[in-house]
Structure 1
Amino acid sequence: MGALSPLSPLVAALAALGVGLAVLALLLVRSRRELAVSRRTATTAAAAVSRRLAGVMASGRDGIVLHGAGGRILEVNEAAATLLGSTVQALVGSPVTELPVRWRSETGQEVAPAAVFARRAEAWGEDVVLVVEPLDGGTHRWVQVWTRGSPTVDGGQELTTWLADVSGRRDALAAQARSEQQFQAAMEYAPIGMVLIDPQWRLTRVNAAFASLLGARPEALVGRDLSALSHPDDRAAERAGVHGLLAGQQSRLSLEKRYLRADGQTVWVVLDVVLVRLADGEPDHFVAQVRDTTESRLQAEMLAHRAMHDPLTGLANRSLMHEVLHEAIERPGADGGLAVLVIDLDEFKQINDRYGHPAGDDVLVHVAGVLRAATGGRGTVARLGGDEFVVVVEDPDAARTVFEVAAGIHRGLRNPVRAQRRRLPVRASVGAAVADPGLLAGGVMGLLAAADAALYRAKAGGRGRTEVYDPSMSMAGAVRHGAAAELGQAIDAGQLVLHFQPVVDLEAGYVVGHEALVRWQHPERGLLLPGTFLATAEEAGLSVALGLDVARQAVAHLAATADRGYWVSINASAEQLADGELTGVVLAELARLGVAPGRLVVELTEASLVDAGTRIRHELSVLGQGGVPVLLDDFGTGVAPLSYLRDLPVTGVKLDMSFTAGIPDDPAAARVSRALGALAREMEMVTVAEGIETPEQAEFLRGCGWRYGQGWLFGAGRSEPVVGMSDGRAP
């Protein structure tokens, strides 16, 4: 091999340099490629982040404001722009201190914008709620504001403020607060008791009315079991009702019951309860109203008592006596264990005639006390009317007890009665009947008729004595007692019926009411008019029972024809009103059947027997106070009719048919009718003319000012009212 050329090292070096440069070039190209890829990747990532941020900004319900430390807005979303009453383009770059809104605190104080967008730790400490008021006067909004800071790459700080519109929630909370306040006010100031009760029936909240009802403080009642406050006899029904609510058997509980006050008194209430359940159906709490019905209950009981008791003496009346006697007859052991005493005062009419009815009332009250003492709780004492009393004795040895009671009556009447500063001697005749199979077969009226026959014997034997019924007395007054017993049984059997005669408005010509006329639908003799049995009723002391039957039928008829709006009048004699039972039954039946009192009218007959200041006048006043109109029947006849208009509490008058019959041919009857009508109208009284039979009579009376008329011209008495127009006006 030859020697190396001197240029070889240089060539080698150059070659190495070329290789290095090539490698470097390759590395440079590769680096540039990698940098380009990195840049593209970063750009893509940045774009993705930007898209995500834009999505978050656009889709969020809350407003987002990104602003620098200097206070200029860098980014803002549509929600924020809407809250701030502007646009995104207008807000970006704007200072937060120059937004088109005014900021106020919850208490109404104005807040500086810089404080709103400051970090909470610097200005508020925690998130706050502010009111945003647009400067252009738009609707203000409630906004919850919170701001957080984040560092920037250059070491600075950017702030992000979230604006959450809480107006809906605030409105809901405000509505809930208002509802709570309204409920609290309604509950607290309600005139009736209101309580909230947990599912265990414990009181959680009570109002002042309920606490006052029970005579306790509200805080003393909270936490107590409501049933523990109830009357012991009512607790079982209350608990059963509550269990029914919890079991879903009923949606509401309404119960009339009693509670015991803190002072031991009893109050009557109506308890109305509803159960409030949660969304899943579980019981949450009870809401109850407690309405005090003590007064109305007492009034109802007073009416019921009055309907069954004599108002003068407080004794049982005819109706209650019949009930007691009927039940006693049905009970086992009535044969020999039941007796009836009928007591009649001797010459009582002379006391009334000589000393007046007030003295007679004093005597009756004294006699009632004597009868109670003589009976000694061994039976029921009743006043049938006038000076007639009955004692129903229930005792295993009734025959012996009868004599003991009768002896006690005579013994108690030995001393004169003090009445009206006088000492008046009083004696009584007593008739008694001890039940046996024969008398029991005749029922209530048979037993009373037997005792009445014995009384008839006692009166005939010298009075002031006692007689006990035996079969030999059956012929004494047999006709009278038989007719009375038959009429009494007819009343009990519902054989007395009412027919109705129309009362017409003479000006308008339509029917406004009816007068109830009693008839006896006899099973054998057919329809009997009052003339065939009213005298028997009066003689047998059945007029009160008859009047009560008529009153009950009339009120029942009014209840059944409520849609027609008519009124119905019934006749009441002085004897029936003096008994006192009729008034109580009328008011009680009206209340029981829900009939407006003004739809029943009472026509007072036999007004000449009424003296001012007597019990009859008192009964008329009670009827008037109860809303029942009273008409003076047979006006123009009898004694001193003008004084009746002045002294008696009557609503109107009925012209006696004797005057109507002479119109228009009889000048005197015409003048009297005209004068009486003018007098009644001057006193602002209702005027009714009865006995109208011709159109001429109707026209004349209408011209004289009589408002209503009745008679054969408009229809006879019938079992159903005449169908016609009615304005529902009662007299």
Structure 2
Amino acid sequence: MNSMDQPYFIAIGASGSEGLDDIQRLLTLLSRGTRAVVMIVWHRPSDRVSHLRDILASSSRMPVIVASEASILETGNCYIGEPDGHLTLMDRNRAHLVVGSKGMLQNRSIDALFSSLADWVGPRTIGIVLSGLLDDGSRGLAAIHRAGGLTVVLDPGLKVRGMQQNAIDFDGPISFIGTAGQIAEVVNQLTRQEGDLLPAAYALITTDDTGQIVGWNAGASALFGWQSSDVRGRSYLSLFEPSEPDGSSLEGEIANIPRYPVFNGAQWCLRNDGSRFWADSFLLSKDADGLSGLVIILRNPGLPQPTTPSSISSEPQFQLLTETIPQLVWRSLDDGRWDWASPQWVAYTGQREVESHDRGWREIVHPDDREVTLQAWHVAASRGGMEVEHRLRRADGIYRWFQTRATPLQESEDSSPRQWFGTSTDIDSLRQAEEQVHFLAYHDVLTGVANRAMLDRVLEQTTSAGGQEPAWCNVLYLDLDRFKAINDQFGHRGGDDLLRQVAARIGACVREGDLLARPGGDEFVLVQRVGPPEAGTVLGAKIMNELSRPFAIQGQDLTVKASIGIASCIRDGNTSEELLFRADLALYQAKAAGGGCIKLYDPELEADLRYRQALERDLRLAIENSELDLDFQPIVDIATRETVGYEALARWTHPIHGEVAPGIFIPIAEETGLIVGLGALILELACAAAITWRRQQIVSVNLSPAQLRRHDLVEQVVTVLARTGLVPTRLELEVTEGLLMDDSEQVRNTLQTIRLLGIHVALDDFGTGYAGLGYLCQFPFDKLKIDQSFTRKMETDTGSYAVVKAVVALGQSLGLQVIAEGVETEAQAAMLLAIGCLQGQGYLFGRPVSAFEVPS
């Protein structure tokens, strides 16, 4: 690969807490024309790297991409690494990344990236440290320095305390120190591609406040032939052929140079062998932590002697070039009027050549872009060049985006530019692509409304009032009721169609300035940015009314209900996190109330949630420490009243709240996944207690669906039986009727294996209507347990009695033993015996007792 075709690699490291601000500022200032690959390592493991990408993409002029394994790096892109990993460049010909873990290099990810680039890219590496602790990055900068690359740190007086000594040591690895703006200017000057010309080498020289050389990079040695020890302490003016006999006032010149690059003109430079070369030079003042002086950048060595400007456009080669290249080429005077324009300019604008000379860009620049173009032109003289993006009107009246660059071509005796040479490059397709990328980064692809990234950004802006009282703001959290059933019925295409229609209807209710977002799934969030809390309820009612009309899905009319939770910025919280959290709580309350309604955030909801979260935490510890107990409720022969077994029931005595009802902690365990550990503990305790009973009754233990779906359940049961010494025939495992809906071969095989071990399997809560009778033939059961809701009402409700009678008959026909739960009266017991139900369980026969109270 030709060196002139190779891009620069800009590596940015930021490990301090304020690194994000510096990265944003630097990326904002880096030019789109920077012909480089940008790579970022940022040490903030607590933050999501995707969130960092979204933040940087909003301020950068280049695409920001999260690096993945073996990413092929492309010029003009910015790649960021995972906070816990490191980026390493591999294979210079293909230029791709390997993303590793922090353990591989002891969290020296900045050092790793810098060193890797120094090895593979060498002098085309630019290493930038924006913030750092101790020496993180210093070793990598030293490697880049040795390879001849450019090494830069943010002003040590501001941030980089750990590398301050390196920055002020002329033999150290730091080539340049300065502000983010100065760093961007230096990088832009070194990496910018001017037409088809790319600087092949550069020299970077730093001086103290008297103009004596204190810094000298490898590029300077290559151009001038001197090493740093040869030139240290010499005046930087000794590098140039004198243009003033007296040398003028050096200190005055340094004091008057601004803190951004100033084009110093093309001039003759002197080598150590006495020869000379023609090069552009830029001057930049620096003032960091007490240091002041100059940074001199020389580029484009070996340029031919300058041709008289007036003759440039008449040279045949130049005419051929301007007629064939796609750029619009022009030359102007100080006042901005063109005094020459290429044929492409005339063809594009539709102006005659004389009109082009008289009016220049004034008439064809888009009105919205004229101010920024004028500002760029006004500062161009002091900065040594101009670069601006603006829209230019085509001959047919259509505007397209162009990138215009201008460079001083000739200077007068008072050093004010007299003529400027520039090009305007059509970047309209690139801008459209960038706008599309930006749209996709902040909008939901399916519905076109804002996504979660945009929602977070707008909420943060809305609730952050710069120290002032925030304005009124309501957050409406909406969720469609029974969307999963709709998705199952119509498929994903039908579900997607419904979501698009819902988004359109909600959007019709939104005022200008409000935001509608879809964080994901069937949830929508609406930020009402102006209005008191009551306005949120009015808007919610309007949305509910819009959604009440049927939707046309796949040729069918579908009625949909939604639940809405509302939180107010002033009343319920002032931060974006609080508002979303509390609106979500209100939505949860609306769903719990049956859906199809609006609920406002109630502080008691949060108190209940905190209590529930505390119970979850304490329950986890109680399970880990085996701090739960069991009660045992007898199962009796209804005729003889002899106890034939006991059902194990979990009990939890909280150290603060006392007895916590199973109806509270069991659902928490099921929702959080703790039910697997809880079920294992109950099985262990139940078998250990049963082995102490003198009479050989059965102990019945409930299995949760989550336990039954585990592939190691059989092994777990066998291990518990072996450890406790309980024979398998004394153990009965109960499963709920809802499990029958899980028509999986794995569940059936597990139940069959359990039965083959001699363990009894009972179907609990039968009759509640979850499954069809056909499932009974597919699963291996020994017993049916009639749900207590039917048993308790069988005396007074003929329907309940009929269900109980039918279940008993069904069990008898299938050869299954039937047990009735919830038996509380003698009349119920007599009715059960009369229809053939021989076993029962309930307060009539005995309440649950502790393990110590079970008769031995």
TM-score (norm 2): 0.34
Q: Which has the bigger relative contact order, CA under 8 A and spacing at least 6?
A: 1
The alignment's TM-score, normalised by the length of structure 1, stands at 0.39
